[in-house]
């Protein structure tokens, strides 16, 4: 991986982690396009963790309030949403990793993401605030986040759509989605610690400079993506993202089944 590739992939991660288009799907896609294999897992974990810095920068007040009041309603809802994500991640860990390495799910995953986003915009009752939100709402959203571990199924897309489907107001849907991603991203990094240590000892093929550049670009563009999505969710529709991921999914499926240029 060159420095320019690291910066580019960091930008891709930063943008797509919070735009509802699947960061994992885009990373797998561009790693295939660039022919990057060595060090891909370490880089993927590093840039995902870097996006947490962007989340903390935007939502530091919420995070601080949750730390100070660990039994507040919002804190308990985030915990309730994190549980199904963790269970699904641990139960199907090997399957998800195989999907990530093979890229077999990319085309179908993008199509599913587009369909869920479109479906969410067909609902009209978006009036629940934190006080009106239930643990069942949180568990439903967290379950969708767990399913989104599949490459090309967007985590932010599934959680925001899930929140809208459960009737959360659009501002809370975005806020809860982003807060719920923090334990999910950090938890995934912890789970991958053991294989990462083994890869580092064996030599990964990726240097410190490339990791640092990728993390910085992921954090900066992640911050921009969060701000943009907060505006989009409140003022616009998610359907434009549906058209994007549907187009991408169809192109990937065409390559997987007919052209075999990258898959």
Query: What does 74-140 look like in DSSP terms, one character per residue?
Result: HHHHHHHHHHHHHHHHHHTHHHHHHHHHH-TTHHHHHHHHHHHHHHHTT-----B-TTT--HHHHHH
- 263 residues of the chain, pLDDT tens digit each: 788 989 999 999 999 999 999 988 898 888 788 877 655 667 878 888 899 999 999 999 999 999 999 999 999 999 999 999 999 998 988 888 788 777 788 999 999 999 999 999 998 777 899 999 999 999 999 999 999 989 899 999 999 999 999 999 999 999 999 999 999 999 888 877 666 666 656 665 577 888 899 999 999 999 999 999 999 998 899 999 999 999 999 999 999 899 877 77
Q: Give the 3-state secondary structure of residue 156.
A: helix
The single-letter DSSP state of residue 236 is S
Q: Which tokens is 81 given?
A: 């949403």
Q: Give the 3-state secondary structure of residue 48.
A: helix
Residue 145 and residue 157: Cα distance in Å, rounded? 9
The upper half-sphere exposure of residue 122, i.e. CA atoms within 13 Å in the direction of its Cβ, equals 7
Of 149, 153, 144, nearest in space to 106 by CA: 153
pTM to 2 decimal places: 0.91
Q: How many CB atoms lie within 10 A of CB 113?
A: 31
Residue tagged 């930008």 (tokens):
11
**Beta pairing partners, 168:** 128
The upper half-sphere exposure of residue 153, i.e. CA atoms within 13 Å in the direction of its Cβ, equals 20
The total of structural domains in the chain comes to: 1
The upper half-sphere exposure of residue 57, i.e. CA atoms within 13 Å in the direction of its Cβ, equals 14
- Structural domain boundaries, residue 204: 3-259
């Amino acid at each position: 991986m060159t420095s320019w590739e690291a910066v580019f992939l960091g930008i891709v991660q930063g943008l797509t982690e919070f735009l509802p288009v699947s960061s994992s799907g885009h990373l797998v896609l561009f790693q295939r396009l660039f022919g990057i294999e060595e060090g891909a897992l370490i880089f993927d974990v590093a840039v995902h963790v870097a996006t947490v810095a962007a989340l903390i920068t935007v939502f530091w007040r919420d995070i601080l309030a949750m730390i100070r009041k660990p039994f507040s309603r919002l804190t308990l809802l985030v915990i309730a949403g994190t549980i199904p994500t963790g269970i699904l991640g641990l139960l199907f860990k090997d399957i998800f990793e195989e999907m990530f390495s093979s890229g077999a799910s990319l085309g179908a995953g993008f199509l599913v993401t587009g369909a869920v986003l479109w479906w969410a915009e067909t609902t009209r009752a978006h009036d629940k605030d934190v006080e009106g939100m239930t643990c069942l709402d949180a568990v439903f959203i967290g379950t969708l986040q767990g399913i989104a571990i599949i490459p090309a199924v967007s985590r932010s897309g599934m959680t925001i759509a899930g929140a809208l489907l459960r009737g959360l107001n659009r501002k809370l849907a975005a806020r809860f989605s982003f807060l719920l991603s923090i334990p999910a991203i950090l938890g995934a990094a912890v789970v991958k610690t053991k294989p990462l240590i083994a890869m580092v000892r064996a030599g990964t093929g990726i240097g410190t400079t490339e990791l640092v550049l990728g993390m910085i670009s992921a954090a900066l563009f992640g911050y921009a993506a969060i701000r943009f999505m907060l505006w989009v969710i409140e003022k616009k529709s998610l359907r434009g993202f549906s058209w994007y991921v549907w187009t991408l999914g169809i192109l990937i499926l065409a390559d997987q089944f007919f052209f075999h240029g990258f898959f």
